[in-house]
Amino acid sequence: MQAHRETPVSWGRVLRAPHDVLRPSFRDQLPAALAASGGSAVPYGLGRSYGDSCLNPNGALIAMRNLDRFIAFDGNTGVLRAEGGVSLAEVLELTVPAGWFLPTTSGTRFVTLGGAVANDVHGKNHHQAGSFCRHVRRIGLVRSDSGAMDLAAGDALFDATAGGLGLTGLIAWVEIHLAPIRSAWLTQETIPFSGLDGFFELAESSLNGWEFTVAWVDCTARGRKLGRGIFSRANWSEQGGLEVHARRPRWAVPVEAPSFALNPLSLAAFNALYQWQGERRAGLARAHYSSVFYPLDAISHWNRLYGARGFYQYQSVVPLDAGREATRAMLDIIARSGQGSFLAVLKTLGPLASPGIISFPQAGVTLALDFANRGQATLDLLARLDAIVLDAGGRLYPAKDGRMTAALFQAGYPRWRAFAAQVDPVLSSAFWRRVSA
Amino acid sequence: MKKIIVLGALSAIAEATCRPLATQGAHLALFGRNESRLRAVADDVAARGGRADIFVRDLADAGDADAALADAARVLGGADVVVLFYGVLGEQAKAEADPVHARAIIDVNFTSAALWMLAGARLLEAQPAGAERPALVAVSSVAGDRGRRSNFVYGAAKGGLSILMQGLAHRSANAGIRAVAVKLGFVDTPMTAGIKKGGPLWATPAQAGAAIVKAMESGGAIVYAPWFWRWIMLAVRATPEVVFNKVNL
């Protein structure tokens, strides 16, 4: 198999380095891809990881997207087996008309099944469904040292592969149990809240009656308004058809935005507008799953809004008892910095354990925000947030990260050495070399 | 339910064509060299709601094309479409220096393809007439529209295939079978892995596949996909030699 020199990017577009890209098309080519990698390769799906966990500068990158076949789908039981490069969007295009939905989903449908497993993604129903890999029955893995393997939930290598950032072997196929739906529509309630206490009350009171919850926070609001935002909760509706999402995005960002477009003034204006919009729309409404789960998928290449230098995303999870104060402290620092983002997302994660040894989701409160890359100023700000997360016993999401220190990673993932023992000798990433040092 | 014989089912464009057909419930006979890969494509077709049977063989050998197609038609219970996808790009410089490589490009892209299409015409014409006209479709290339220094051996073979399809279409203009050459431009597939990609001229396999599915249903003997290649190639063909010779294409 022949490699081609390319410069793939991750979603944050900060790191730009040449890679030797290998593109296997069939499962039987995966051993050859590993063998052709020159001893260091990272698997790459749709490139929706934000930082450097899907990049391997100056080494090989194994592009898995061409492994995009379904292997078996049982419309009676909802069990689907498909190759690792199949996207969640393609899964839904097949299964929604038959009345099946993903048991839980990331905030974009443009991730591969392999990527969803490798990052053990979570969704708005984490408090009821747990993370993605809880619903994975089997994984087909191809390793450089032991070839093709068929893993079942509970195997040591399965638990390393779930949330294992693609480092335990190439994910050839995944078998998941889907969730039945009666329609493709949801009943969604939008509730503005004026501060963090309001958010935590709503999150607590929605735990039982609502399958999906999430909140947007105004990360530019300070003082009395600190932590104001829009809470959204939803349940599947019994009424409506089984319509699949639109295949083409409604809008696109054709080019990178100029660097001056994003400034404290435009940020504050956007956030104020979003808050006002949410207050205007408060109440119950019917909504298709594409707008409830995947609002940003309607705008292709939205990452270009952050300009040529790209952006960092920062997602932490902090245990609930320390979470309230830690979240308040982080939002305060961000608001004062004037560096915040368009969309800051706040959600509580439930107690259902993630299967992965280094899975990110754990019980607590998770905050996710974007920061345009302004070099050292941005890194300094993120380091101040790190201190709060570390102090509160929390951790950061590797899928979103392009700069966390080894100390922070190792504190947040105490079983990381057990995971390291399962890493394929040929696989690595810029992220992994940094945090395992 | 359509019954379709797919020659070269392991190409990325073939797979992208089979997917919408599978969703419509088509029954496909998949021809290709590698059994486990054909099995993977057949499983995908079945998961999407279609049916597929596999036929393992090297299509470069068209010696018993009639028997092979008859065998597939027997398994399908008749054939509505015979569609040919396989091809090899080759290397122009090597083809000019090495007659073995030149022959391989010509044999795969033209000689064997032409023999399969002629056998396909015999198969479809021997069947009792149905409600719809059966179709013979070959995936060809805009490279066949004018000889250019960058790939004229491949272009000559594909140009020959397009002429053959056009001739089959002309011969049975108002009755019997339809014959179509689908001339593709740049498509992002493993076959073009060595070429720098991106820009408005590049199509995805899914876009090419959709055009091929459409060509099975209706349209003329020559289809350009995406459509704008018709006008690009019109301009390329009309360019005077003095100008053309100065352009590195």
Three-state SS for chain A is CCCEEECCCCCCCCCCCCEEEECCCCHHHHHHHHHCCCCCEEEECCCCCCCCCCCCCCCEEEECCCCCCEEEEECCCCEEEEECCCEHHHHHHHHHHHCEECCCCCCCCCCEHHHHHHCCCCCCCHHHHCCHHHHEEEEEEEECCCEEEEEECCCHHHHHHCCCCCCCCEEEEEEEECEECCCCEEEEEEEEECCHHHHHHHHHHCCCCCCEEEEEECCCCCHHHCCCEEEEEEEECCCCCCCCCCCCCCEECCCCCCHHHCCHHHHHHHHHHHHHHHHHCCEEEEEEHHHHHCHHHHEECHHHHHCCCCEEEEEEEECHHHHHHHHHHHHHHHHHHCCCCCCEEEEEECCCCCCCCCCCCCCEEEEEEEEECCCHHHHHHHHHHHHHHHHCCCEECHHHCCCCCHHHHHHHCCCHHHHHCCCCCCECCHHHHHHCC
The residue-averaged pLDDT of A172-188 equals 98
Q: CB distance from B44 to chain A under 8 Å?
A: yes
Neighbours of A35 (CB within 10 A): 14
**Looking at beta carbons, which residues of chain B come within 8 Å of A66?**
12, 190
Q: List, in sequence order, every residue forming a beta bridge with A4; answer none if it has no partner.
A: A21
Model ipTM value = 0.92
Residue B124 is predicted with a pLDDT of: 95
Cβ–Cβ contacts within 10 Å for residue B162, how many? Answer: 22
* B34 contacts in chain A (CB < 8 Å): 26, 28
Q: B29 by DSSP, 3-state: which?
A: strand
Nearest CA in chain A to B192: A4
Q: B193 touching A, CB under 8 A?
A: yes
In this predicted structure, the answer to whether residue A435 has a pLDDT above a threshold of 80 is: yes
Spans of chain B, pLDDT less than 50:
none
Active site residue B86: no
Instruction: Give Dmax (Cα) for chain B.
Output: 55
Q: In Å, what is the CA distance from B90 to each residue of A82, B81, B96, B108, B114? A: 33, 28, 11, 10, 18
pLDDT average, residue stretch A7-25: 96
Q: Do A71 and B43 touch (CB under 8 A)?
A: yes
Read off the pLDDT band of A273 (50, 70, 90).
Answer: confident
Structure tokens at B50: 């279609």
Torsion angle of the four alpha carbons B31, B32, B36, B40, in this order, in degrees rounded to the nearest 10: -60
Q: What is the pLDDT of residue A322?
A: 94
pLDDT at A113: 98
**Eight-state DSSP code of residue B59:** T
Tell me the shortest Cα–Cα distance from B222 to chain A, in angstroms. 28
Q: Which 159-188 residues of chain B touch chain A by CB within 8 A?
A: none
Cis ω before B20 (30° cut-off from 0): no
Does A25 contact chain B (CB < 8 Å)?
A: yes
| B10 contacts B55 by C-beta, under 8 angstroms | no
Structure-block tokens of residue B180? 């179509």
CA distance readout (Å), B139 to B32, B85, B146, B184:
15, 5, 17, 7
- pLDDT of residue A127 exceeding 90: yes
Place of tokens 């597929």: B52
Helices (H) and strands (E) in chain B, counts: 10, 7
Nearest to B40 among A2, A27, A73 (CB): A27
Give the dihedral of Cα atoms A131, A123, A400, A83; nearest 10 deg: 70
DSSP 8-state secondary structure symbol assigned to residue B239 = S
Residue A32: predicted pLDDT: 97
User: Which pLDDT score, from 0 to 100, does residue A193 have?
Assistant: 95
Mean pLDDT of A186-209: 95
Q: Which two tokens stand for residue A151?
A: 């893993």
Residue A319, classified by CB atoms within 10 Å of its CB into exposed (0-12), middle (13-18) or buried (19+), is: middle
User: Which residues, in sequence order, are bridge partners of residue A315?
Assistant: A368
Residue range A203-207: mean pLDDT, rounded:
95
Task: Verify whether the Cβ–Cβ distance A26 to B190 is below 8 Å.
Answer: no
Q: Is B48 on the interface with A (CB under 8 A)?
A: yes
* Smallest Cα distance from B240 to chain A, Å: 36
* pLDDT at residue A268, rounded to an integer: 81
Residue B117, SS3 per DSSP: helix
The DSSP-derived string for B140-191 is EEGGGSS--TTSHHHHHHHHHHHHHHHHHHHHTSSSS-EEEEEEE--B-SGG
**Residues A68, A87: Cα–Cα separation, whole Å:** 8
Q: Which residues pair with A212 in a beta bridge?
A: A234
Confirm or reject contact between A6 and chain B (CB < 8 A).
no
- A50, with CB counted inside 10 A (0-12, 13-18, 19+), is buried
Q: What is the pTM of this model?
A: 0.94
Q: Is the distance from CB of A371 to CB of A312 less than 8 angstroms?
A: yes
Q: Is A417 exposed, middle or buried (0-12, 13-18, 19+ CB in 10 A)?
A: exposed
- The beta strand positions in chain B, using DSSP E, are 3-7, 27-32, 51-56, 81-84, 135-141, 178-184, 222-225
At A254 the pLDDT is: 80
Q: List residues bridging with A112 in a β-sheet.
A: A87
Per-residue confidence at A361, pLDDT binned at 50, 70, 90? very high
Q: Which residues of B touch A23 (CB under 8 A)?
A: 190, 193
- Examine the pLDDT at A261 and tell me if it is beyond 80: no
Of the listed B31, B55, B110, B154, which one is catalytic?
A: B154
Measure the CA dihedral A312/A127/A291/A45, to 10°.
Answer: 50
Does A205 score more than 80 pLDDT? yes
Q: Which of B249, B150, B140 is nearest to B241 (CA)?
A: B249
Q: B15: which chain A residues are within 8 Å (Cβ-Cβ)? A: 69
In this prediction, residue A256 carries a pLDDT of 82
| Residue that has been written with the tokens 């028997």 in this structure | B67
Phi/psi of residue A250, nearest 5 degrees: -75, -40
Q: For residue range A72-121, list pLDDT tens digits in order.
A: 999 999 999 999 999 999 999 999 999 999 999 999 999 999 999 999 99
Chain B residues whose CB is inside 8 A of the A25 CB are 12, 190
Task: Please compute the mean of the pLDDT values over residues A165-178 and round it to a whole number.
Answer: 98
The nearest alpha carbon in chain A to B22 belongs to A94
CB contact under 8 A, B47 and A70: yes
Q: Quick one: residue B70, left, alpha or beta (phi over 0 = left, psi -120 to 50 = alpha)?
A: alpha
